[in-house]
């Protein structure tokens, strides 16, 4: 238990110091290349695409997670203490989310801002206003509080490095294939599995955000928007962190023609730093609760 807690805490330090190096050798980049190889609908007749999506989902998860399971099972504790934080860090991203949002916010022109935000979202950004560009960026930050931070860390707490790796592979496949276009049949299983694996983490994230906004004095507006708008975002999970963060920071998240979440009391340019602080604070709150819970369980077991 102590080793796992040390790996968890040290991984946050690795994220803060190293971030996500831009290299094709990053584990997620490698698995992304593999998904890009098999995840082309043109490779398969239409009638086998759903089955191919299922088969390659299991192959991809196995290839990505096997080294993590093996390291956790067989590496000496001192080696795991050194390498574990880096392995876990490869399964989540906090600093890179902040950096992408900052790049959009600090863009020197609207066109550059639209170009930067295309790295974060799949929507057409050509006709977005400045506020809608910022919305796309900070929506990604809010939604990825679950997908890129809390969920992989929660699976690490529950099932070790292998669990975090399984989730990271599943979420990456959904990000690349889970769209209602020519990838629909091939990506249906990755999309459904991501929904299922994210179901509990999204609600844990919501609980953590409620605690966070209770501490900051913004619980009432956060809950008001959550109750009213959380179902406007398609899917089971994304609307939970997005609505709570929109209400808690007083902004509007808008995807033109799709949804408008929040009341818009403040602009996203003004409230952006507060959104980042909410993500950081929620992450630290999760780690703190895990540590306190582990200590309490240890005390109870020794009574």
Distances from the Cα of 156 to the Cα of 12, 42, 85, 167, angstroms:
13, 36, 11, 9
What digits encode the pLDDT tens for the residues 279-288? 999 999 999 9
Residues in the chain: 303
> Residues near 49 by Cβ (< 8 Å), separated by ≥ 6?
41, 185, 186
Collect the ranges in the chain with pLDDT lower than 70: 108-111, 113-114, 118-120, 122-125, 303
Contact 271, 221 (CB under 8 A): no
pLDDT on residue 150: 97
pLDDT of residue 110: 67
pLDDT digits (tens, 9 = 90+) for 214-250: 999 999 999 999 999 999 998 889 999 999 999 999 9
User: What pLDDT is attached to residue 219?
Assistant: 96
CA–CA separation, 299 and 287 (whole Å): 18
CA distance linking residue 88 with residue 3, whole number of Å: 13
Q: Concatenated DSSP letters for 168-202?
A: HHHHHHHHHH-SSSTTHHHHHHHHHHHHHHHHHHH
Q: What is the C-alpha separation between 43 and 30, in angstroms, rounded? A: 20
Phi-psi region of 217 (alpha: psi -120 to 50; beta: other; left: phi over 0): left
For the question of whether the overall pTM of this predicted structure is more than 0.85, the answer is yes
Q: What's the pLDDT at 41? A: 93
């Amino acid at each position: 238990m102590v080793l796992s807690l040390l790996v968890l805490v040290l991984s946050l330090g690795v994220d803060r110091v190293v971030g996500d190096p831009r290299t094709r050798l990053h584990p997620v980049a490698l698995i992304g290349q593999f998904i890009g190889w098999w995840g082309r609908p043109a490779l398969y007749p239409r009638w086998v695409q759903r089955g191919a999506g299922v088969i390659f989902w299991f192959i991809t998860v196995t290839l990505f997670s096997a080294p993590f399971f093996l390291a956790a099972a067989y590496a000496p504790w001192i080696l795991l203490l050194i390498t574990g934080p880096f392995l876990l860090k490869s399964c989540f991203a906090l600093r890179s989310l902040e950096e992408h949002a900052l790049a959009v916010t600090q863009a020197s022109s609207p066109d550059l801002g639209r170009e930067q935000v295309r790295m974060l979202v799949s929507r057409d950004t050509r006709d977005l206003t400045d506020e809608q560009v910022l919305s796309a960026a900070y929506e990604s930050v809010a939604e990825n509080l679950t997908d890129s931070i809390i969920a992989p860390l929660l699976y690490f707490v529950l099932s070790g490095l292998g669990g975090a790796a399984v989730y990271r592979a599943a979420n990456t496949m959904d990000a690349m294939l889970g769209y209602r276009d020519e990838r629909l049949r091939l990506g249906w299983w990755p999309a459904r599995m991501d929904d299922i694996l994210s179901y509990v983490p999204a609600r844990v994230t919501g609980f953590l955000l409620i605690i966070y906004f209770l501490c900051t004095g913004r619980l009432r507006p956060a809950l008001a928007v959550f109750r009213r708008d959380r179902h406007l975002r398609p899917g089971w999970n994304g609307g939970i962190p997005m609505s709570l963060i929109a209400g808690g920071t007083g902004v509007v998240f808008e995807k033109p023609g799709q949804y408008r979440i929040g009341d818009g009391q403040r602009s996203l340019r003004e409230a952006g730093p507060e959104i980042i602080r909410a993500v950081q604070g929620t992450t630290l709150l999760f780690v703190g609760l895990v540590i306190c819970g582990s200590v309490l369980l240890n005390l109870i077991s020794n009574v």
